[in-house]
Homo-oligomer: A and B are copies of this chain.
Amino acid sequence: MDFQAYNKILICDDEVVNVRVDSVTIGYEFKIKYPSYRGVFLSCIEALDFYVDGRKLDKNTIIFYLNGKQFLLEELPELFKEYWFISDKATIRVIDPNGIAAGPHEVRVFMRHRVPYTGYFGEYLVLDSDESKTLTVSDQQEVSL
């Protein structure tokens, strides 16, 4: 049951923000952190799913922003040279021309991740971090990365 307390930091309290290019809405975004006491390379992420208001998001509509770069979710397991520092927030952008409506939304994040130093007798410890949080949408300000 080690590591369980870190799951609480997975979803950041930051507001959900609609993303616009000039006045054109292209999606919305929120922030997550790596649920551990230490950083790892992104390749330790074995699965990452997002749900908003109970609906699972299509992985092809999601862009993962970290270290000034963009990644598709399918690329994460291959990124063995992209370090996720424990204090850094990743931005999860959901491409959706409708953006997200004002008010509270339930965001759920499921991350399966490998603890890379744990193979004492062969097998690595693989953790499931599954958290939900109600986030508020900020008042539709113009923000983009």
* A-to-B contact residues, CB < 8 Å: 69, 71, 75, 78-82
Contacts and interface: CB of A to CB of B under 8 A. Distances in A.
Task: Among A69, A80, A81, A82, find the residue whose CB has the most chain B CB atoms closer than 10 A.
Answer: A81
A81 B71 CA distance: 8
A25 B79 CA distance: 32
A78 B79 CA distance: 9
Nearest to A42: B81
Contacts of A71: 81
Contacts of A81: 69, 71, 75, 79, 82
Contacts of A82: 81
A63 to B, nearest CB: 13
